[in-house]
Amino acid sequence: MKNWQALLLIVVAYIAMHVASILMQIPFALYFMKDTTLSDLDIQFHTVAWSLFTANLIAAIVFYILIRRRKNFFKVFKGKTASFGMTILWGIIGFILALVGQMVAGMIEMVAFGTEPGSDNTNLLGEIAQTAPIIIISIVLFAPLLEEIVFRRAIFGGIYTKTNFFIAAIISAFLFAIVHGELEHTLVYMGPAFAFSFIYYKTNRILAPIIGHLLMNAFVVIVQLNQDKIEEWQNLQQSLIMFFQ
C-alpha cells in the first residue's frame, strides 16, 4: 500500500469514527436507561461520552495498524527532524500560539461579523465531562492524537507535497473548522489549526502539534470544570478593587 492510499484510509477511518459514534449511541442509551437513578439528561451525557470514547479507541487502533510499519511516515518536510526536547518546547510554543490565534480570531469575528464569543460545543462538552468524566480522555488524549494525524499529516502534509505551506495550512485549517460544526466560529478554529501546522512544519515531528493540541484541550477542560471557582475568584477580585477604591 502506498502512502497516499494510507492517508486516504486514515481520512475514511476518521469519518467512519464519527458515524460509528452516532450509531453506538443506541445500545449505550439502552444500557444506561436501565439505571433508574440517572436522569434523562444524565443518560444522554453518559451515552454521548461512552459512544465517543469507544469510537475514538477503535479509530486509534485502526490508525496504528495503518501507520506502524511505515518508516518516516510523519517526516514530510525537508530538513532535520527536531530533537525530542525541542519538539516538546515547540509543542508548548504551539499551545501559546494557538491561544493567541484563537483570541485574535475571536476579536475579528466579534468586530467584523458581530459574532458572540464562546463556543456552544465547548460548553456542552464541559457539562458532559462533569457527569461522565470518561469523555475527558476523548477530549484531551484522543482528539489531539487523531485530529493531528488527520488534519496535519494526512490533509496538510498531503496537500503540502503538491502545493506550498500556506495553501496546505489554509485548506487543512478550514476543513478542521468545518468538522467542528460551528461555522460562525470558523476563524476561531482556524487560528489554532494554522499554529499546529506551523509547528509541525518547523519540527518535522507530528508529536509537536499533538502536544500543543493536547495542552490546549486540557486547558479548556480545566477552565470548564472550574468555571464556578473562576467566577468566585473574579467576584472576589472585583470586591477587593471596589474596597480599596
Catalytic residue numbers? Answer: 147, 180
Are the beta carbons of 17 and 56 closer than 8 angstroms?
Answer: yes
Cα–Cα dist 195/24, whole Å: 33
For cell 506502524, name the residue.
68
Residue 50 has what DSSP assignment? H
Angle at CA 175, nearest 5°, toward 170 and 179? 150
Contacts 24+ apart (CB under 8 A), 172-179: 172/197, 173/197, 175/151, 176/147, 176/151
Q: Which residue has the cell 477542560?
A: 221
Locate 81 and state its grid cell. 527532524
Instruction: Write out the H or E segment, with its range, that includes residue 136.
Output: helix 135-137
Helices (H), 132-164: 135-137, 143-147, 158-160
Q: What share of the chain is helix, strand, coil (3-state, %, to 5)?
A: 80, 0, 20
DSSP category for residue 83:
P
Q: Cα-Cα-Cα-Cα dihedral of 204, 207, 212, 216, to 10°?
A: 150
**109 neighbors 188 (Cβ within 8 angstroms):** yes
